[in-house]
């Protein structure tokens, strides 16, 4: 088996970025994923670990690359990869090991503050020459401080736990829900209370989602969940769009079941220009750029390179994502 790894990419920019992070770029074989499946398989012959940018690896290609033992992403999500079928071929899948966790946590705070203080409306009003316009009269009832609020974190993994850590000192009550128990002592250290999802939705002023997308989390927030939430509550989604039933979110905003939403992700990306969420001034949408930070990119790519080299040396990879 080769001691080299491969970067399967669609563009030269990814190659340049990876070359800047490795001292010996000759150890990495660059493979163009715009080529035919057969040509990609030929280029990957003898390769043990493949870094994929974007996070895709067709099953048809896996059938033709028996030497590959690891598909390594530079993102946190692996939902576009058929992990079950790849597992049948003996191929593991690893994500970025939390390389973007800090950036996504920080972006989450931006969404919270943006919704609570109507920053997008303020920006547009000033830009349009109206100064504060009608913001004060129309939106004062929804303008809030974060202090004194209950923040509910669904998914206390690498990103969720960093949000909880950064909330220390914000004078909030922090509750969370997760199917996995946190490390010993974390609840006490960060003053966390574990609740069921239903109780979290019922009591939280701010609900923020940080779960992977799989069969169990698809549309985990839909009409029933919006019925449970406080009418003054806001929803933040910086994980994956289909975790939220977008049609149900439209109904919840329209019927004032919740007060607003901050989204970095949508069910379809790029979202259509006629997305029915756009007309709502209490919905803030950013274009899936929560991890848009140089530090996050470097950490994620460095982890990908190091983890891929481990497999190329015959070692076991870290941050393996199990099949759904």
Select which of 158, 240, 246, 301 is catalytic. Answer: 240
Pair 65, 149 in one domain: no
The total number of structural domains in the chain stands at: 2
| CA distances (Å), origin 120, targets 127, 241, 253, 269 | 11, 21, 17, 21
Pair 106, 12 in one domain: no
The 10s digit of each residue's pLDDT in 294-320 is 999 999 999 999 999 999 999 999 999
Pair 131, 275 in one domain: yes
The 10s digit of each residue's pLDDT in 222-270 is 999 999 999 999 999 999 999 999 999 999 999 999 999 999 999 999 9
276 in a domain, yes or no?
yes
Q: What are φ and ψ of residue 50, in 5° steps? A: -125, 125
Pair 83, 171 in one domain: no
Select which of 269, 295, 315, 316 is catalytic. Answer: 269
Q: Which domain holds residue 227?
A: 101-285
Distance (Å, whole) CA 249 – CA 57: 32
Q: Is 202 annotated as catalytic?
A: no
- If you average pLDDT over every residue of the chain, what do you get? 95
The encoded tokens of residue 6 equal 């491969």
DSSP conformation class of 317: P
Percent over 90 (pLDDT), the chain: 90
Pair 124, 18 in one domain: no
Q: Is 240 annotated as catalytic?
A: yes
The 10s digit of each residue's pLDDT in 76-85 is 999 999 999 9
Select which of 117, 144, 202, 288 is catalytic. Answer: 288
159 in a domain, yes or no?
yes
Distance (Å, whole) CA 105 – CA 88: 34
- The count of other CB atoms within 10 Å of the CB of residue 109 is 18
Pair 73, 211 in one domain: no
Pair 143, 221 in one domain: yes
Q: Is 4 annotated as catalytic?
A: no
């Amino acid at each position: 088996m080769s001691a080299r790894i491969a970067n399967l990419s669609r563009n030269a920019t990814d190659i340049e970025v990876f070359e800047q992070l490795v001292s010996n770029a000759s150890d990495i074989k660059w493979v163009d994923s715009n080529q035919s499946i057969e040509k990609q398989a030929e280029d990957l012959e003898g390769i043990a670990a493949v870094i994929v940018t974007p996070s895709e690896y067709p099953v048809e290609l896996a059938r033709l690359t028996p030497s590959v033992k690891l598909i390594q992403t530079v993102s946190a999500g692996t939902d576009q990869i058929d992990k079950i079928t790849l597992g049948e071929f003996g191929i593991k899948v690893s994500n970025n090991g939390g390389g973007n966790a800090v950036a996504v946590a920080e972006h989450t705070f931006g969404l919270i503050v943006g919704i609570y203080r109507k920053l997008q409306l303020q920006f547009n009003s000033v830009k349009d020459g109206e100064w504060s316009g009608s913001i004060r009269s129309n939106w004062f009832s929804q303008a809030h401080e974060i202090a004194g609020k209950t923040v509910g974190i669904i998914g206390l993994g690498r990103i969720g736990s960093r949000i909880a850590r950064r909330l220390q000192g914000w004078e909030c009550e922090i509750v969370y829900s997760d199917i996995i128990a946190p490390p010993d002592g974390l609840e006490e250290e960060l003053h966390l209370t574990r609740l069921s999802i239903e109780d979290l939705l019922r009591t939280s002023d701010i609900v923020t989602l940080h779960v992977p997308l799989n069969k169990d989390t698809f549309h985990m927030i839909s009409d029933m969940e919006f019925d449970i939430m406080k009418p003054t509550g806001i929803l933040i989604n910086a994980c994956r769009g289909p975790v939220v039933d977008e049609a149900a979110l439209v109904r919840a905003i329209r019927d004032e079941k919740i007060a607003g939403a901050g989204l970095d992700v949508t069910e379809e990306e790029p979202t259509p220009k006629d997305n029915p969420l756009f007309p709502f001034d209490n919905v803030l949408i950013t274009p899936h750029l929560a991890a848009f930070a140089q530090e996050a990119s470097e950490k994620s790519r460095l982890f990908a390179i190091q983890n891929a080299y481990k497999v190329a040396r015959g070692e076991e990879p870290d941050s393996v994502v199990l099949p759904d």
